[in-house]
Amino acid sequence: MKNQESEPDKNEIEFEADNVIVTGGAGFIGSHLVERLLETEKTKENINMYVIDNLHTGSLNNLKKVKNKINFIYGNAGETKNLNIKTNIIFHLGIYSSSPMYKENPELCSVVIKDFINLLEFARRNDAKVVFSSSSSIYNLLEPPHSEDMHIIPTDYYTEARYFMERLGELYNKLYGVDVVALRLFSVYGPNELYKKEYANLVSQFLWSILKDKEIIIFGDGKQKRDFIYVDDVVRAFLLAATKKSNSKIFNVGTGISYEINEMLKILEKVIGKKARVRYVENKIKNYVYKTLADTAKAEKELNFKAKIPLELGIRKLVEHYKNMHEFAGEGI
Residues that are catalytic: 158
Return d(Cα 69, Cα 85) in angstroms, integer: 17
Return d(Cα 127, Cα 212) in angstroms, integer: 49
Q: What's 327's DSSP letter? A: G
Count the Cβ atoms, other than its own, within 10 Å of residue 118: 17
Q: What's 305's DSSP letter? A: -
3-state secondary structure of 227: coil
Distances, alpha carbon 217 to alpha carbons 47, 114, 225, 267, 324, in Å: 44, 36, 16, 17, 27
Task: Please name which of 46, 41, 32 lies closest in space to residue 229, comparing C-alpha atoms.
Answer: 32
Return d(Cα 74, Cα 58) in angstroms, integer: 11
Return d(Cα 20, Cα 50) in angstroms, integer: 6
Return d(Cα 120, Cα 108) in angstroms, integer: 18
Return d(Cα 151, Cα 138) in angstroms, integer: 10
The radius of gyration of the chain's CA atoms, rounded to the nearest angstrom, is 19
Residues 138-175 as b/e (b if ≥16 CB within 10 A, e otherwise) read bbbebebbbebeeebebbbbbbbbbbebbebbeebbee
Phi-psi region of 139 (alpha: psi -120 to 50; beta: other; left: phi over 0): alpha
